């Protein structure tokens, strides 16, 4: 071999070694960057990937959020390696202190967006539901300017009364979702729950339709917060309907009073006729009076057997009721309620003036 060729071969080997060392150093730095916690992120920091954002735009948002780690090329190489390049999903993401670049990009690749929750409480009426929706953040508000009729039209159910039509449950949503979307899901959930309850109803239920079941379930929901009492109260109302007795349920009367209800129901309220006054009108009120939960729907369509026709609160603070078969028994239970109530009032500590 000539000296010239020997020198050329040695130069080639040295060049290859240097390139190898450089590549190895670059790889070491790259892998160290990819799996090292990023700096500059404060707790609670978020990043939003908008529709149409390119990877460089997302990277600029990361920089604006305080992330200074790594060169742009390192972020781009990492995105290609884990299959995130061109596949970042739209949404809002949490930038957790201590997260690595790999974890951040993987979350955006997989669409692990921040989730929010909105809960419809059992027994809420439509006014309470809409007031709570108006305060929900960051839910986009699309229904604030709609009255109830316009709201139901926007939901695709024009002409239907909104009361009772939204299932009490916790609904998850993401930033960018609207109150109308949440209501559509709650409406569909109630429709499904009501259909299932009605299809599984007992043969002797004195109700002509699923809508009547929804109305009675809303009354049962408002009458007790004790789960095991719901079938008992549903059975009592079912017996009253079969006998043609007045339902005489205070929550329906209160609903019919609307904004005039001041927290206390009086004797004159029970005699003032409204479509919801079940002391002056027989049968069910014209619409539900609240949002019943699944348990109330099931209790109404499968009420407990028994012979009780009356009930009154025990008055002991437990929220439970005394059930009676006859009016005489009921009047005794009412007197006991009044006595217990007065005793509890007298035993309550009196506020000391400051």
32-42 pLDDT, tens digit per residue, is 799 999 988 88
Q: At 3, is the pLDDT very low, low, confident or very high (cuts 50, 70, 90)?
A: low
Q: What distance in Å separates the CA atoms of residue 36 and residue 226, rounded to the nearest whole number?
A: 53
Domain check: are 161 and 238 in the same one?
no
- One domain, residues 121 and 106: no
Whether 23 is covered by a domain: the verdict is no
Domain termination site, one of 87, 110, 133 = 110
Question: Both 220 and 89 in a single domain?
Answer: no
Last residue of a domain, one of 91, 110, 129: 110
Q: CA–CA distance from 66 to each of 33, 191, 245, 352 (Å)?
A: 16, 47, 70, 54
Distance from C-alpha of 110 to C-alpha of 87, rounded to nearest angstrom: 9
> In this structure, are 295 and 265 located in the same domain?
yes
Report percent pLDDT > 70 for the chain: 89
pLDDT for res 1: 52
- Domains: count for the chain: 3
The lowest-confidence range among 5-14, 288-297, 303-312 is: 5-14
Please tell me the number of Cα atoms within 13 Å of 138 on its side-chain side: 7
- 165 and 292 together in one domain: no
Answer yes or no: do 241 and 255 share one domain: yes
Domain stop point among 58, 78, 110: 110
pLDDT at 7: 52
Domain with 64 in it: 33-110
- Predicted TM-score (pTM) of this structure: 0.83
Q: Are residue 154 and residue 238 in the same domain, yes or no?
A: no
3-state secondary structure of 20: helix
Pairwise CA distance, residues 166 & 184, whole Å: 8
Q: What pLDDT score was predicted for residue 315?
A: 86
Q: Please check whether residues 164 and 252 belong to one and the same domain.
A: no
Q: Indicate if 122 and 167 belong to the same structural domain.
A: yes
Q: Is residue 20 part of a domain?
A: no
Average pLDDT (341-352) is 72
* pLDDT tens track for 162-211: 999 999 999 999 999 999 999 999 999 999 999 999 999 999 999 999 99
Within a domain: 17: no
Task: Please check whether residue 209 lies inside any domain of the structure.
Answer: yes
Task: Note whether residue 12 is domain-resident.
Answer: no
Strand, coil or helix: what is 312?
A: strand
Q: How far apart are CA 178 and CA 189, in angstroms?
A: 17
278 shares a domain with 250? yes
Q: DSSP character for 178?
A: B
Distance CA 20, CA 43 (A): 41
> Are both 121 and 189 inside the same structural domain?
yes
User: Quick one: 161 and 290 in the same domain?
Assistant: no
């Amino acid at each position: 071999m000539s000296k010239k060729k020997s020198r050329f071969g040695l130069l080639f080997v040295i060049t290859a070694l240097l390139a190898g060392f450089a590549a190895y150093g670059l790889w070491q730095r790259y892998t160290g960057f990819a799996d090292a916690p990023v700096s500059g992120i404060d707790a609670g920091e978020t990043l939003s990937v908008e529709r149409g954002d390119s990877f460089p735009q997302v990277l600029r948002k990361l920089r604006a959020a305080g992330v200074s780690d790594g060169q742009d090329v390192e972020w781009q190489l990492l995105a290609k390696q884990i299959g995130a390049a061109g596949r970042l999903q739209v949404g809002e993401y949490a930038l957790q202190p201590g997260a690595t670049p790999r974890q951040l990009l993987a979350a955006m690749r997989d669409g692990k967006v921040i989730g929010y929750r909105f809960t419809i409480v059992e027994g809420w009426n439509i006014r309470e539901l809409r007031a709570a929706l108006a305060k929900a953040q960051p839910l986009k508000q699309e229904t604030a300017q709609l009255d109830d009729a316009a709201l139901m039209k926007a939901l695709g159910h024009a002409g239907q009364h909104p009361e009772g039509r939204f299932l009490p449950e916790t609904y998850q949503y993401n930033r960018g979702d609207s109150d109308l979307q949440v209501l559509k899901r709650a409406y569909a959930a109630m429709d499904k729950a009501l259909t299932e309850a009605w299809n599984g109803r007992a043969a002797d239920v004195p109700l002509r339709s699923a809508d009547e079941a929804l109305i009675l379930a809303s009354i049962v929901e408002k009458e007790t917060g004790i789960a095991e009492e719901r079938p008992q109260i549903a059975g009592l109302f079912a017996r009253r309907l079969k006998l043609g007795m007045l339902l005489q349920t205070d929550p329906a009367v209160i609903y019919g009073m609307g904004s005039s209800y001041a927290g206390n129901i009086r004797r004159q309220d029970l005699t003032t006729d409204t479509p919801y006054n079940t002391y002056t009108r027989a049968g069910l009120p014209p619409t539900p009076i609240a949002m019943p939960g699944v348990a109330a729907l099931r209790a109404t369509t499968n009420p407990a057997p028994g012979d009780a026709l009356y009930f009154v609160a025990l008055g002991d603070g437990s929220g439970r009721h005394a059930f009676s078969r006859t009016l005489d028994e009921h009047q005794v239970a009412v007197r006991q309620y009044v006595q217990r109530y007065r005793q509890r009032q007298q035993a309550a500590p009196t506020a000391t003036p400051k």
